[in-house]
A and B are shown apart, each in its own frame.
Chain A
Amino acid sequence: MTSKPERLVIVGNGMAPGRMLEHLFEAAPGAFEVTIFNAEPRVNYDRIMLSPVLSGEKNYDDIIIHGDDWYARHGVTLHRGQKVVAIDRATRTVTSEGGVTAEYDKLVIATGSNPFIIPVPGNMLPGVLAYRDLDDVDQMLAATRAGGRAVVIGGGLLGLEAAAGLKAQGMEVTVVHLMPTLMERQLDPAAGYLLQKALEDRGIEVRCGANTKAILGHDRVTGVELADGSVLDCSLVVMAVGIRPNVALAQAAGLEVGRGIVVDAGMRTSDPNIWSVGECAEVGGQVYGLVAPLYEMARVAAGHLAGPSDAAFRHSETPTKLKVTGINLYSVGDFAEGPDREEIVLRDARRGLYKRVILRDDRIIGAVLYGETDDGGWFNELMKKGEDISDMRDTLIFGQAHQGGGSFDPVAAVAALPDDAEICGCNGICKGQITGAIKDRGLTTLDEVRAHTKASASCGTCTGLVENLMAAVLGDAFAAGAVKPMCGCTTLPHGDVRRLIKAKELKTIPAVMQELEWSTSGGCAKCRPALNYYLLSDWPGEYVDDGQSRYINERVHANIQKDGTYSVVPRMWGGMTTADELRAIADVTDKYAIPAVKVTGGQRIDLLGVRKEDLPGVWEDLGKAGFVSGHAYSKGLRTVKTCVGSTWCRFGTQDSTGLGIKLEKFLWGSWTPAKVKFAVSGCPRNCAEATCKDVGVICVDSGYEIHFAGAAGLEIKGTAVLGHVKTEEEVIEVSAALMQMYREQGFYLERIYKWADRVGHDEVRRQVLHDVESRKRWFDRFVHSQKFAQVDPWSERVSGKDKHEFKPMFETVLEPAE
């Protein structure tokens, strides 16, 4: 029997019906002739992704779910900008505001929700927006171009995403929240507090326990008045206090309505020809506001529309995540306290971690994770399955990686590995080789194991594994985790050595070795460079650099290459160069027959394969053209990468190139524990990749967002936000303060991200940003030390310093054989 396609009409073109149609076209292709009415004048897009559109990380085209071709392909008629105003169930027709009528055999109501607008005076003023659709986002973006302050009313998911987005677009933002902590429906107070701090660190003001009394303004919004009488001046108000299922149309049509449009488990309303899916539907007495359950509704409804089906909607807990770049939170289930509940909590104040799992009868009923959320999915799985967790109670909070059937013991876990299991990927070392070396050679320290097997001697990421393996073989004889001495010449770790150098005023390497009882006479290749650095940084102007305690690159101010030649990388401030500079590079390349010229990953030019004896000549010529050393070899400031910024770019908010040059000129020359890379991007599109540098600056309309503690080498680390400042001077001051704090506290070879993890991000923020006095102190000390550091090492050497380095001591002229 060939049946004529049924007429399916859908009211609303949101995420739920979109998904439903995908299921339907797959299950019953050609069975329906589909007509959609959409009050919004556009196709189906991913509403969830409005936040990245607002923040500038995405644009509308990126978030379209069904483009025009999709409607064409499936023969779907889409009435855009046609809000349905009436359903006539007797004649089975729907009619839109614009007078378009359609007849249906089956009807799906998917009208979503309406944002709740709090009933206060002024709530209809221009400049007061909800956060629901693309029009809202477009209007917010228009407002950001005018700048000023935005007040976001509501500290829930939507409100905070709006706040972060507006902030990213350069507005000053204040969040006004009625409850004492943020996102109180998804987060417990501890996590809410961490979240608040994180937002404040990005320069978003948060006012909890604040009740909005009125919105002020005559023909446009000018402020918000709170119940305590205070007034927040603003040019934009975003109201994100909640949503109400949009049921008016269904109600007018006489369908059964509770909080939402009441449907059975098959998503059918009280009229057998009418279904409802999405936020407007009430199923099992519940309404929903996250897409996961809505997609479940879509699947069930499609099943029933396609033919007889026993698909039934089942309630499940949906985790909440906040889509604000750099803030990780995850919450699922029920996390209220109660006498029948137990909780397991893990806090790590230094790393800003908070994890809480809520149990009832040995089963997880909820979880709140802040800071590190990788295990959210796993907790959720355990919760959904209702698994009895009593066996792993002790290690549960550490997450999945720490479960090894029963209780987890990392030492037992490596002990259980087969002998041919690879432990060190860099060097291809298997477990058997390591255990063999430990036993045969009687090794007892990590350094010995490294020396004899090379395991963990390269990138070092397997160090923990190797230590566990040593513990498994040696038992108590191996004290891992004990603070490691800085090298084999001392029992003192870096931290103690740094402290004692200052406390005992030790000002030379021999003094340190004597006073701190070094066990070797002259130190080793590990401790000497470290001591040399510590002394330089602690006694600027007093301590005399010891070249022999430096790695060759820093000793001769060029990078050694595999064939013993050197590379030369002059500075190109902020990545800018000129025709004259390029000509000088070309000339020197010809003159010294330099075999390779390469553009580096750091926005400058590398001359590779220079003979050591030619280095001073090459530098001399480069110096005449105005070049100085680029310190591509140094533990010090390497590059300040920039983008073109407001000088050229249509999106640029500030002069990122100019600021980069200023930073580079201000900061170059000083030695640091490990290399330091900066970048400055002109807007959040971040073309200078500032968010993976040691320090990154993102320009925004209202100023500069300073980031820190990123890296993109052996480890990829996105930066953390240090904070927001308004002027270039502040950026420079904060950057210099940060450099100095790091210079004085960092352990040798410890990059900023590791140091910051060790001392705590908040502590760094406090000392170099918020506490203005302390910031000034660090800054002044940096400026003082720069007096001695900002000397171009190349010109020094051209004028004769260390000339022994570049000349052979003696040369024989070989006589021809007789």
Chain B
Amino acid sequence: MNAPIRPWTLIGTIDDIPAQGARCVKMGGMTIAVFRTADDRVFALEDKCPHKHGPLSQGIVHDGCVTCPLHNWVISLETGTAQGADEGRTETFPIRLEGRAIYLSLPR
């Protein structure tokens, strides 16, 4: 069945995030980057580039991807995988938009 294994948490509204931008959600030691695209889709990735752990939340968002601010790897927001010739993957988290409210399913 499709029911989430983890509870959904309301983290804010889409207006808290600039279009083509990101904000962070802190969970103890972990940071999750929540992205908003130009067409108002939202994605959640661990804020850690598969290359050298650059903070993806600080990158430029474009085309459903984010370019890491440290060495320009391009990471897919949907799958968390590095694009082009680079190889690696960042963890993604289930996220859901209800109206303007954003719910994130946080890992325990």
Contact = CB atoms under 8 A, between A and B. Distances in A.
Interface of A: 437, 451-454, 520-525, 528-529, 547-553, 556, 560, 562, 564, 804, 808-812, 814
A552 B69 contact: yes
Given A804-B16, A809-B12, A562 B26 contact: no
Contacts of A523: 62
B28 interface: yes
B50 interface: no
A520 B20 CA distance: 14
Nearest to A802: B18
A75 B85 CA distance: 73
Contacts of B34: 809
Interface in B31-88: 31, 34, 37-39, 52-55, 58-63, 67, 69-70, 72, 74, 84-85
Contacts of A810: 9, 11-12, 25-26, 104
B27 interface: yes
B38 to A, nearest CB: 4
Closest 9 CB pairs of A and B: A809-B23, A525-B67, A452-B85, A810-B11, A548-B20, A451-B84, A552-B58, A564-B55, A525-B60
A811 to B, nearest CB: 4
A547 B60 CA distance: 10
Given A522-B20, A547-B21, 16 more contacts: A451-B84, A525-B60, A525-B72, A529-B60, A547-B18, A548-B18, A548-B61, A550-B60, A564-B58, A804-B18, A809-B16, A809-B24, A809-B34, A810-B25, A810-B26, A812-B9
A811 B104 CA distance: 12
B27 A814 contact: yes
B19 interface: yes
Given A804-B18, A809-B16, A814-B28, A522 B58 contact: no
A808 B23 contact: yes
Contact of A560 (B27, B69, B74): B69
B25 A548 contact: no
A373 to B, nearest CB: 39
26 contacts: A437-B85, A452-B84, A453-B85, A521-B63, A522-B63, A524-B63, A525-B72, A528-B62, A547-B21, A548-B21, A556-B58, A560-B55, A560-B69, A560-B70, A564-B53, A564-B58, A804-B23, A808-B23, A808-B24, A808-B31, A809-B16, A811-B25, A812-B9, A812-B26, A812-B27, A812-B106
B11 A551 contact: no
Contacts, number: 93
Contacts of B12: 809-810
A551 B69 contact: yes
Contacts of B69: 551-553, 560
A811 B70 CA distance: 25
A198 to B, nearest CB: 41
A217 B85 CA distance: 79
Contacts of A553: 69
A522 B38 contact: yes
B17 interface: yes
Contacts of A809: 11-12, 16-17, 23-25, 34
Contacts of A452: 84-85
Chain A CB count within 10 A is highest, among B17, B19, B59, B69, for: B69
Contacts of A550: 60
Chain B CB count within 10 A is highest, among A525, A528, A551, A556, for: A525
B59 A552 contact: yes
A748 to B, nearest CB: 14
Nearest to A451: B84
Contacts of B59: 525, 552
